């Protein structure tokens, strides 16, 4: 079989397999992310079935997947919402950082990683999965719950913090000094502020430039602009993911719904290749030795995320049952943890991959399960005299 035929056959079988995994995940009420990661482990280095022909294509597609993930995330928020979330829940964001990043950093040092690797692992444990959590809240019918604004505020602050953390991590992984790190952070902060101000004043004009009666034209314009800005951001030492996030943020809310509807299928396709590519780069045999560490880290950061959600919901005057629901909703880790781990792996720290994969697998499954369990527990707490 020639190269092109082998490539098409491998990709065809891969996408059919991903479809079946997605169906299985939906039936179980879980995110497909852990299913895709497990399948990719079986296909990649050390796996039972090699996927050598399609691997270069998947590696390139994975970069586009990260960019589209962050772009569509930016579409979820407006500059006004970000400022409001910061004003209301800045203390919750501080608690989130203080409780959830140090366990990852400490675990990295205990595992013998350099401080740059420990910093990456701190990011892995810090950031919750906006994609998993948003879908879960919708599936459970909790979007109108009193605790949901607190949950979303924490997620917004985490996503905004990504715009600062990713350049810092990229500089650290590149081995640059403190001044370079400071320059990267300054550049990121400046870019965020400029885009936020531009979005408030000029976002409607950008929306008019992107809009068209033909959906194909809209898709091409959005993808072209996003990839262009992401590439420029990467070239000046920031992060392609941050650039994509800022493009989504700059688009007006009146246009965001249509942009999301048009790009969601393309985002889902390339996002799937991102998780596959990450799994392909991880040797499944390397996960078993670090599995106890991943389990211990998952237990600790499950408790710290529940405490974070509890604190945030309490600030909004939510009762004990709602605080518990908010805390368990934040437990899931997913796409952003893998993005951070992927940066570390490609920068010459492959040992991050097995730890992050095991950790995300555990919490991408455990988080939704805990969130579902919290509902009946919360109802019993609400009916108890002490919680009225």
pLDDT score of 6 more than 70:
yes
pLDDT score of 388 more than 50:
no
In angstroms, the CA 354 to CA 349 distance is 11
In angstroms, the CA 117 to CA 123 distance is 10
pLDDT per position as a tens digit, 279-291: 777 777 788 899 9
Name the residue with higher pLDDT: 331 or 44. 331
**In the CATH hierarchy, which fold is given to the domain comprising 3-383?**
Na+/H+ antiporter like fold (1.20.1530)
Task: Sketch the domain layout of the chain as residue ranges.
Answer: 3-383
**In this predicted structure, which of 69-73, 109-113, 327-331 has the lowest mean pLDDT?**
69-73
Q: Percent of the chain at pLDDT above 70?
A: 83
pLDDT number for residue 297: 96
Mean pLDDT score of the chain: 82
pLDDT number for residue 37: 78
Residue 162 DSSP SS3: helix
Name the residue with higher pLDDT: 163 or 99. 99
Q: Would you call 186 exposed, middle or buried from its count of C-beta atoms within 10 A (0-12, 13-18, 19+)? A: exposed
In angstroms, the CA 234 to CA 225 distance is 14
Chain CA centroid to CA 288, Å: 24
- Tokens 């531009």, residue? 198
pLDDT number for residue 176: 62
pLDDT per position as a tens digit, 181-233: 666 667 666 766 676 666 666 666 777 888 888 989 999 999 998 898 888 87
pLDDT score of 237 more than 90:
no
Give the CA dihedral 296, 301, 306, 311, nearest 10 degrees: 140
State the DSSP code for 286: G
pLDDT band for position 387 (50/70/90)? very low
pLDDT per position as a tens digit, 131-169: 678 767 766 777 778 888 888 888 878 877 876 787 778
Rounded to two decimals, what is the model's pTM? 0.74
For the chain, the distance separating the N- and C-terminal CA atoms, rounded to the nearest angstrom, is: 70
| Mean pLDDT computed over 48-68 | 80
pLDDT score of 346 more than 90:
no
């Amino acid at each position: 079989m020639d190269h092109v035929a082998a490539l098409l056959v491998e990709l065809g079988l891969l996408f059919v397999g991903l479809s079946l995994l997605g169906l299985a995940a939906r039936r179980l009420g879980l995110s497909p992310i852990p299913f895709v990661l497990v399948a990719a482990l079986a296909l990649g280095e050390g796996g039972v079935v090699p996927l050598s022909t399609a691997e270069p294509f998947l590696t390139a597609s994975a970069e586009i997947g990260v960019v589209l993930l962050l772009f569509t995330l930016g579409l979820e928020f407006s500059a006004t919402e970000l400022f409001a979330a910061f004003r209301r829940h800045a203390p919750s964001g501080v608690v989130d950082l203080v409780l959830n990043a140090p366990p990852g950093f400490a675990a990295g040092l205990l595992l013998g990683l350099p401080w740059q690797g420990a910093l990456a692992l701190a990011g892995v444990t810090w950031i919750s999965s906006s994609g998993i959590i948003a879908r879960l809240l919708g599936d459970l019918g909790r979007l109108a719950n009193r605790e949901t604004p607190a949950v979303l505020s924490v997620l917004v602050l985490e996503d905004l913090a990504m715009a600062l953390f990713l350049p810092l991590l990229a500089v650290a992984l590149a081995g640059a000094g403190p001044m370079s790190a400071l320059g990267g952070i300054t550049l990121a902060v400046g870019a965020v502020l400029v885009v936020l101000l531009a979005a408030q004043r000029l976002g409607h004009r950008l929306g008019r430039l992107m809009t068209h009666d033909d959906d194909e034209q809209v898709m091409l314009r959005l993808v072209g602009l996003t990839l262009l800005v992401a590439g420029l951001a990467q070239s000046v030492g920031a992060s392609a993911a941050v650039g994509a996030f800022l493009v989504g943020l700059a688009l007006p809310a009146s246009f965001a719904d249509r942009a999301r509807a048009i790009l969601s299928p393309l985002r889902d396709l390339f996002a799937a290749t991102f998780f596959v590519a990450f799994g392909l780069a991880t040797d499944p045999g390397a996960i078993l030795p670090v599995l106890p560490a991943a389990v211990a880290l998952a237990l600790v950061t499950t408790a710290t995320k529940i405490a974070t959600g509890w604190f945030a919901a309490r600030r909004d005057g939510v009762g004990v049952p709602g605080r518990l629901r908010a805390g368990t909703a934040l437990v899931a880790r997913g796409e952003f943890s893998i993005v951070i781990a992927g940066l570390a792996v490609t920068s010459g720290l492959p040992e991050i991959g097995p730890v992050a994969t095991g950790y995300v697998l555990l919490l991408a499954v455990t988080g939704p399960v805990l969130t579902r369990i919290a509902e009946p527990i919360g109802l019993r707490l609400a009916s108890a005299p002490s919680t009225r």
